[in-house]
Amino acid sequence: MASLDNTGWSVPGLLLVLLLVFDSDVLHVHGLEVSAEKMSSIEAMNGSTVLFNCKYHSCIGIHNLYFSWHYNNNGTMDKLCDGVVPSEGVEPRVKVEHQRVEFVGSSKKENISILLWNITFEDEGEYTCFARNPKEKDRNHSTTFTLTVVSQMREVDNTLTVIIVSVLGGVIGLVIIVMVIKALVVQFLMKDDEKNKECLVNASGNDNTENGLTGAKADNKGTPKA
C-alpha cells in the first residue's frame, strides 16, 4: 500500500507530478527555437539578392532536424526548399525547389539561411522558416520574414542626427575647454599663493633681525656713573 504524506499525496504520485513538471519544463522552456538572426522585415531593391538569415537552437540537442522554407503566395504556401540535419555538426541534406533560391546555411553554426536571387516585385510577401525536432517529440517552431521590393532605396535624412551630434560635440568641447581653463587658473592661484607665503616669511624674518639688533645696542650702553 502506498504511503501518504500530510497533504494526502502518495509518494509515487508526488514523483509522477515532479517528473511531469520537469519534462514539461525541458520541452517548453529549453526546447527548439527558430529565430531571425537580424531583421524580420526586409526592404530590397528590384533585381538585387536577398539573404533570409534564419537560425535554430535547442539546449537538448537535435536528431534528424527537419526544416523548410515556404513563401505565402496569396494564401498558398509554396515550398522553396527543405532538408534534414542528421545531428549536430553534420551538414544537412537539402532539396531546393525554386530556381532562384540557394541554401547557404551550415549546421556547424545552427544556420538554415537561404538566398533569393534577382528578386522582382512579384517576390514581395512573407517567407517562413520552419523547423521540427524529433528528439523533442516533434516539437516545432518557425519565424516569418516580410519582404518589400522597391525600385530604388530610400535616402535616409540624417540632417537631424548631424545637428544633434554637432551640438553634443560642441557642448563636450566647451566643457573640456572650461575644465582646462579652470585647472590653469587654479594652478596659477596656487603658485601665486605660494609666492605670497614666501614673501610673508621673508618679511617676518627681516623684522625679527632688526628688532634684535636694536635691543643689542640698547643693552651695550654703559650704566651712568653716580
For 7-51, what is each residue's pLDDT tens digit? 454 544 433 333 333 344 333 445 889 888 778 899 999 999 999
Separation of alpha carbons 136 and 114, rounded Å: 25
* pLDDT of 46: 96
Rounded Cα distance, 16 and 19, in Å:
5
pLDDT at 14: 37
- pLDDT, residue 216, reads 46
* pLDDT lower than 70: segments of the chain: 1-30, 153-159, 192, 195-226
